[in-house]
Structure 1
Amino acid sequence: MQKKWIALAIAATIPCAAFAIGGPSGAKVDYEVQGHIGEVMANPYGIAPLTAVIRDGGYTLSDVTVHIVPKQGGQPIDYKVSRTQLLTHGGIPVFGLYADYLNTVRVEYTRTDTTGKSEKFKDEYKLYAPPVYFEPAGNTMERAMPFGVDVKKVDKEFSDRLYFVNNLAEKSGVGTRAVWNNPTGGALEWNFWPQNTVIDTKGEVRWYMFANPIYDLNSLYSAGVMMGFKQNDDGLLTWGYGQRYVKYDILGREVFNRRLPLRYGDYSHSMDDAQNGHYFLRVASSNWKRSDGKNVRTVRDVIAEVDANGNVVDEFRLAEILDPYRDNVMKVLDQGAVCLNIDASQAGKTLSSEDLAKLDASDKFGDIVGTGPGRNWAHVNSVDYDPEDDSIIISSRHQSAIVKIGRDKKVKWILGSPEGWKKGWAEKVLKPVDAKGNPIKCEGSKCEGDFDWTWTQHTAFKIDEKSKGDIIYVSAFDNGDARGMEQPALPEMKYSRSVVYKIDQKKMTVEQVWEYGKERGHEWYSPVTSLTEYQADKDSVFVYSATAGANFDLSTGAFTSAPNPFINEFKWGAKEPSVEIQLKNCTGYQAWPFSVQKALSQEAK
């Protein structure tokens, strides 16, 4: 008898959820259901903790609207949900929850049961979302995660903006365990924890990626730097990292997560989607046979075009299209900041002709500045497909050049200093003109008036909405290192610019129509990374000066803080920004306006 009571007492301590499997009460749902449909699934796919799905409960839902109630004085997020999204997620997708906060979410919908009976409901949900978490690197420059935010200015017209921010953690001891040297060269040492967020104009994080389920610094094929994020026309996110290129929706649902085709390696910087469903990936050759017979793994100098199924349909091998031995820019680069290879002890130092000659004569290959395949001679950091003439526009940092290349692999034009281009390329360099079409006088790499070339630039994008026929507009972030093909007398003299050019592809001329940043001087200077991109929805230019404001100790030759990037957005042609938000203590790569409506409201095409 005593054993029977003990058994009953033990059974009484078992949570009632156990009966959901079966037993006296039968199978049943035994978790909280707040509204008139189904249960809530928080972080449904494991990598987006500030999202949820309110399950449809077996009903058919329609006319769905979601309202994330803002904090006091905060920014509301409202969106309709498309039938596509309702069917895909089996319920109502919830995006934009505040971190470490009990959120209030209001949903309106029509519920239809299997008999065809329809009812309208307005439900209110209380949903807690966890704090933002990123893996720490374990160094002295890290502060609060993910970063501080100082909202300096937001005009009313831009107050509904959400900004996707692609930042990078500092290099960590964990991330430096892997070195790939097969056959020789490569760029696998680019291996930092990702810090990807969406912030609102109040400075609040409304989405972040918990990357750990799809990312592992200790794995050759699951690590690298997450870069090249883009919200495609279908609302989905594409990007790549290390040896992978991927596509996900904003709730974290995987569309594809693929290894690079074996012919290539070391993805970084750019993944551009074309109108036919193809993707242009900035990669490198995994095995290049040099003219001297040596096999090398190249560095950031190949663009592979893959179709929707991952088959390679074409490639642009830049060492065969451009001049990989043009070294003018490489000899004047600041060796302290060669993109993410930042070494404060080398700040202000440059390479002499003798240095480059010794390097070129050696068997030292890899992610180092030098000429020829197997070294970082091109450093392509953006690719933009132009369907008008079936060509690509690339930004080559280490040539300080923006280049358009046709499907025939011939250079159409070069936007950059004419210095150092040999016959065959020299004829393709665009000629600067003023607003009236008159030639601008230039000597070497310096031009009169308001015109300047870009220097170690990032993100050369065609502005489709402003372009027509042979007259096209191209935006870029002119980082400004080695401006004028030289280093300035003082580091504080360096500055960056956001710039827009008007190119007449028939006349082979270029006009500078807008710039910003020169007047901000060194405080706005970003030695590496960053972005400029036109936004059609508000007829604006978005800018991320992503590595501005790092503090540097000249006595020790070391950085004492991470950068403090600037987010700016300008009405077309405006001299002053409508938005200025400064992030604190973080290393930025790129950022851009994110559309929740594109992600969740539009039907699949």
Structure 2
Amino acid sequence: MQKRQLFAEMLAAAPLLACAMGGASGPKVGYEIQGHLGEVIVNPYETDPLTAIIRNGGYMIKNAKVTVMPKPNGVPISYDVSRRMLLTHGGVPVFGLYADFVNTVKVDYTRIFNGKEESFSDTYKIYASPIYTDAQGLKGQVSAMPRVRPVKVDPEFKDRLYLLNNAADLAGKAAHMVWNNPMGGALEWSFYPQNGIVDTTGEYRWYMFTQPIYNVGEPYLGGDMMGFRQNKDGSFTWGYGQRYVKYDLMGRQIWNRRLPINYIDFSHAMDAAQNGNYFLRVASSNTKLANGKNVRTVREVIAEIDQDGYVVDEWRLFDILDPYRSDVIKALDQGAVCLNIDASKAGKTLSEEDIQKLNESDNYGDIAGTGVGRNWAHVNSVDYDPTDDSIIISSRHQSAAVKIGRDKKVKWILAAPRGWKGELAEKLLTPVDKDGKKLVCDDVSCEGGFDWTWTQHTAWRIDEKSAPGIVYLSVFDNGDARGMEQPAMPSMKYSRAVVYKIDEKKMTVEQIWSYGEEAGHDWFSPVTSLTEYHADKDSIFVYSATAGASFDINTGAFTSAPNPNMQEFRWGETTPAVEMRVESTTGYQAMPVDIERAFEKNAGSRWVSLRFAAR
């Protein structure tokens, strides 16, 4: 009886105890409200610390506009916010805060409550924390993100924002997970990501805090982040290791998926195509050779995946091209076979005897060589052409851009003629001048201001200037093995950004613009990089992503990290309207960011090229 009475007394006292511990229950909210809406949440999705959401406070909102006020001599960021984005984020999304700074953010909007509409113009003070990423433990690292130094910015380009997709050097934490490292491991590459967006003063206005979605020591959460593209809805797609993902510019996950089990080792390229699907550059997880052996292949499969993650088609390039064409591979500088940079092999090449010994061996994997299961193709870009349901790929180790149809038949090849045989030789494009006259060429070079591309990246169709049967193609010509040889001196090497016009009916190609040879060796990028057209300013954007490294004049080996060069040219001009230098980092790709596409209601309907521009 006494126990029952004591229990009853405790129940009666429970509300008083609750009040004593935490205050009375009810509608009171303890968070601070600055304007006429709700609370401010910085880094709402945990991966983008220079973003925030001003919650709607329970009101309906429309006609919202955000302006992040600049620092002295800085660049403001201003954009309209669509109803879709207001509803998705439960308030006003704020993008472009300065790090370690009390930002002034002006928000104009209409608030609706009980059928009454009121217009407000609120000013918020929002502090964003310093930029933080994992340190690499390397003596050359001096900052969390690479520093960016503007050299030249013409007035009409001052509002540009550029995404930098770079990679830190291989850190000790990752080294034992990389399977092409001498120690062996589980990942093809695992360079810690350095992804950020800078304005034209060199200030970071966004960066990716990757820890919530990335772990350099886990094979299914690590890898090298590559292939960034801005989709028509303003979101970004890219991949890393064994994953391909889609996030919006605020860091909200749309999907984050493992590769389909038939494939492994995403790198370089993920094209958001006009047909709504995604074209991923992957490799086969299990292919049987003619000798009965089973191998994992290396960077020569294109998988087409729909928005639900189903594989709808694939291009197995070892069945389409010639995996034993060795002419370019024998001329490659073995010190810089894309990301496998080994200074001890700088300037060295492979002989025919080396190739034959390799083919007779059981050595497979990420090694320069011929045959399925070796790095014979090294495809680093894929682009869909909706006019004839085809893809255009860039094969670094064939120094070739190739167009392939849905029927898996080659339509044309943009490459030097040496080494192509049979039906493939019949698909080579013929170089012509501006009047359509055939140029004088041998099997590795041409007269008349024309050159093929060598170990190139980003063979992309310029959608806005192309038409059915006519393809304008932008390419970054890295320039290693130019003319299928190594020059007498490493300092003789140079890279180019180049645009071609291809007449598919006549099977001809004209070089209509190039830049780089005149810039010399200081602009030379042995690996990575990008060339891309942007319609909003009728410009060519170029990222010479591994330029500017110090090297030993005798061996050609790197003695310091690269200092990438980011430039934007008005169409047809060879003097840059924008030039910015990125200091001490291995760059992969960079590209302008379309903020309006990310936040405005009409962005999707304005989107034409499907392309946003990444290694």
1:19–1:27 CA contact under 8 A, matched in 2: no
Tell me which residue corresponds to 2:306.
307
Structure 2 residue identity aligned to 1:320:
D
Deviation, structure 1 residue 558: 5.3
Is 1:66–1:108's contact at 8 Å kept on the other side of the alignment? yes
RMSD: 1.7
Give how far 1:135 is off.
Answer: 1.5
Return the TM-score normalized by structure 2: 0.93
Letter in 1 for 2:105: V
Q: CA deviation at 1:25?
A: 5.8
Distance 1:238 1:565 in 2: 23
492-501 vs 143-152, which moves further: 143-152
The aligned residue for residue 91 of structure 1 is 91
Partner of 1:147: 146
In 1, the alpha carbon distance for the partners of 2:30 and 2:581 equals 46
Please name the residue that 1:567 is paired with. Answer: 566
SS of residue in 2 equivalent to 1:464: coil
The answer to whether the Cα contact below 8 Å between 1:186 and 1:266 also exists between their aligned partners in 2 is no
Instruction: Quote the residue 2:11 is aligned against.
Output: none
Q: Aligned with 2:344: secondary structure?
A: helix
Maintained 8 Å contact 1:142/1:562: no
Q: Is the contact between residue 143 and residue 585 of structure 1 (CA under 8 Å) also seen in structure 2?
A: no
For 2:67 and 2:152, how far apart are their aligned partners in 1? 25
Task: Identify the residue that residue 503 of structure 2 maps to in structure 1.
Answer: 504
- Any idea what the Cα deviations from partners look like across 1:467-492, whole Å, max 9, x if unmatched? 12212100000000000111000000
Offset, 1:554: 5.2
How has the CA–CA distance of structure 1 residues 418 and 117 changed in structure 2, closer, same or farther, with 3 Å as cutoff?
same
In the alignment, is the contact (CA less than 8 A) between 2:525 and 2:545 conserved in 1? yes
Structure 1 residues 187 and 327, CA gap change in structure 2 (3 angstroms): farther
Question: Counterpart of 1:398 in structure 2: which amino acid?
Answer: H
Quick one: percent identity of the two aligned structures?
65
Partner of 1:542: 541
Number of residue pairs the alignment of both structures matches: 584
Partner of 1:269: 268
Aligned to 1:462: 461
1:335/1:349 contact within 8 Å kept:
yes
Whole-Å Cα distance in 2 between the matches of residues 522 and 125 of structure 1?
Answer: 48
Q: Is the 8 A contact 2:490 2:553 kept in 1?
A: no
User: What pairs with 1:489-528 in structure 2 (closer than 5 Å)?
Assistant: 489-528=488-527
In structure 2, do the counterparts of structure 1 residues 116 and 501 end up closer, same or farther at CA, with 3 Å as the change threshold? Answer: same
Report Cα offsets for 1:136-190 as digits up to 9, x if no partner.
2212222223112221111111110000110001011111222559xxx998231
59-68 or 558-567, larger mean C-alpha shift: 558-567
Equivalence for 1:224: 223
Which amino acid letter does the alignment assign opposite residue 395 of structure 1? S
Residue in 2 aligned with 1:531?
530
Q: Could you report, residue by residue, the CA deviation over 1:546-586 in whole angstroms, capped at 9, with x for unpaired residues?
A: 00011124579753321100110011101211000011111
> 2:245 & 2:152 partners in 1: Cα distance?
35
Deviates more, 1:465-474 or 1:73-82: 465-474
Q: Report Cα offsets for 1:72-126 as digits up to 9, x if no partner.
A: 000010000000100000000000000111100010110001x111111111111
Q: What residue number does 1:284 align with? A: 283
Gaps spanning 5+ residues in structure 2: where?
1-17, 606-615
- 1:35-65, CA deviations, whole angstroms, 9 ceiling, x for partnerless residues? 1100001000000000000000000001101
- Higher mean alpha-carbon deviation, 546-555 vs 373-382, is at 546-555
Corresponding residue of 1:597: 596
Q: CA deviation at 1:425?
A: 0.3
Give the counterpart letter for 2:320 in structure 1. I
The one-letter amino acid of 2:357's match is K
CA distance in 2 between partners of 1:602 and 1:198 (Å): 22
* Paired AA for residue 51 in structure 1: T
Between the aligned partners of 1:393 and 1:20, the Cα distance in structure 2 is 70
* 1:104 and 2:109 aligned: no
**TM superposition shift of 1:347:** 0.8
The 1-side partners of 2:556 and 2:428 are apart by 38
- State the secondary structure of the residue aligned to 1:345: helix
Distance 2:390 2:108 in 1: 46
Partner of 1:297: 296
Q: Distance in 2 between matches of 1:432 and 1:62?
A: 55
Q: Where do 1:116-515 residues align within 5 Å?
A: 116-179=115-178, 188-515=187-514
Q: Residues 346 and 441 from structure 1, CA distance in 2 versus in 1: closer, same or farther, beyond 3 angstroms?
A: same
2:354 match: secondary structure: helix
Q: Any unmatched runs of 5+ in structure 1?
A: 1-17
Greater alpha carbon shift after TM alignment, 205-214 vs 462-471 = 462-471
**Could you tell me how far 1:21 is from its partner in structure 2?**
9.6
Letter of the structure 2 residue corresponding to residue 111 of structure 1: R
Deviations 1:193-247 (Å, cap 9, x if unpaired)?
Answer: 1000000001100000000100001111001000000001110000000000000
Measured against aligned partners, the alpha-carbon deviations of 1:436-470 in whole angstroms (never above 9, x if no partner) come to: 11111111201112100000000000011111221
Which residue does 1:7 correspond to in 2? none
Distance 1:19 1:242, change over 3 A: farther
1:41 aligned residue: 41
C-alpha contact (below 8 Å) 2:178/2:190 kept by paired residues: no
Q: Please list, as runs of the form range in 1=range in 2, the aligned pairs for 1:18-97 lying within 5 A after superposition.
A: 23-24=23-24, 26-97=26-97
Stretch moving more, 544-553 or 520-529: 544-553
Counterpart AA for 1:354: E
- For 2:575, the equivalent position in structure 1 comes to 576
**Residues 193/287 of structure 1: CA separation in 2 closer, same or farther (3 Å cut):** same
Letter in 1 for 2:458: T
Give the distance between the partners of 1:533 and 1:557, measured in 2 at CA.
29
1:256-297 residue CA offsets vs partner (Å, 9 max, x unmatched): 000000000000000001223210000000001011111000
- How many Å apart are 1:133 and its aligned residue? 1.7
Aligned-pair CA distance for 1:27: 4.4
**Cα offset for 1:434?**
0.3
